[in-house]
């Protein structure tokens, strides 16, 4: 049996977090001794570990309560929906980053770790592709994966207008 602090240390979280989960109805101690001390056993430890695993997905507490109570078949659905929410948040943060870059007029920030358009062209040339080969390649890419083509061009940091031109080609 462990006390709150012992349990918290085992899971590398704070005592406050364990108490918070208790208030939220996620995790109750196995028993309370006469002096009011909380005592946890292996079952509670296992439950806390499950909770923390879900938290590592970024799931809100209310969702976790849901998942722990009725292990519904809707678990995958809930997780997928959460996955999409994460995608949205990421898109929002990327938007903020782009706004900063535009403001500072420093596209280097974004390109820093990226392969840029010029670099890509150099690589393709070094691999033996001619100007015509590359045009043909874009054509195929556009035909077979239009959305993927768009994202690929964006990833090279190419301006929207130029992307349009390349795709219409």
Partner DNA sequence: TTGCTCCTCACGTCACGTGAGGTGGC
The span of 5-13, 36-44, 66-74, 132-140 binding its own copies (CB under 8 A) equals 132-140
The span of 29-37, 67-75, 142-150, 161-169 binding DNA (CB under 7 A) equals 29-37
Output the six-digit token pair for 73: 């078949």
DSSP state of 40: B
Q: Which residue has the tokens 């150099």?
A: 122
Q: Which residue has the tokens 């994966």?
A: 145
Q: How many angstroms separate the CA atoms of 148 and 77, rounded?
A: 26
> Segment 51-80, which members bind DNA (CB under 7 A)?
55, 60-62
Does 1 sit near its own copies (CB under 8 A)?
no
C-beta neighbour count of 24 within 10 angstroms? 12
Check: CB of residue 27 under 8 Å from CB of residue 49: no
Q: Are strands 38-39 and 31-32 parallel, antiparallel or unpaired?
A: antiparallel
Q: Which does 19 bind (CB under 5 to 8 A by kind): its own copies, DNA, none?
A: DNA
Output the six-digit token pair for 165: 């031109």
In whole angstroms, the minimum distance from the beta carbon of 52 to DNA comes to 9
In whole angstroms, the minimum distance from the beta carbon of 163 to its own copies comes to 16
Does 150 sit near DNA (CB under 7 A)?
no
Check: CB of residue 2 under 8 Å from CB of residue 45: yes
Which residues of the chain form contacts with its own copies (CB under 8 A)? 53, 56-58, 76, 79-80, 82-83, 86-87, 89-90, 93-94, 96-97, 99-101, 103-104, 109, 113-115, 119, 122-124, 126-129, 133, 136-137, 139-141, 143-145, 147-148, 151-152, 155
């Amino acid at each position: 049996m462990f006390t709150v602090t012992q349990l918290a240390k085992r899971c590398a979280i704070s005592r406050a977090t364990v108490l918070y989960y208790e208030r939220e109805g996620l995790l109750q101690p196995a028993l309370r001794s006469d002096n009011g001390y909380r005592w946890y056993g292996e079952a509670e430890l296992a439950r806390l570990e499950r909770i923390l695993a879900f938290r590592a997905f970024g799931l809100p507490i209310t969702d976790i309560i849901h998942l722990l109570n009725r292990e519904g078949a809707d678990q995958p659905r809930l997780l997928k929906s959460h996955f999409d929410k994460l995608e949205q948040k990421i898109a929002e943060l990327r938007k903020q980053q782009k706004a900063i870059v535009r403001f500072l007029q420093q596209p280097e920030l974004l390109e820093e770790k990226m392969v840029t358009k010029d670099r890509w062209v150099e690589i393709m040339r070094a691999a033996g592709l001619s100007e015509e080969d590359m045009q043909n390649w874009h054509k195929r890419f556009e035909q077979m994966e239009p959305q993927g083509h768009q994202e690929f061009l964006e990833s090279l940091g190419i301006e929207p207008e130029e992307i349009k031109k390349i795709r219409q080609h």
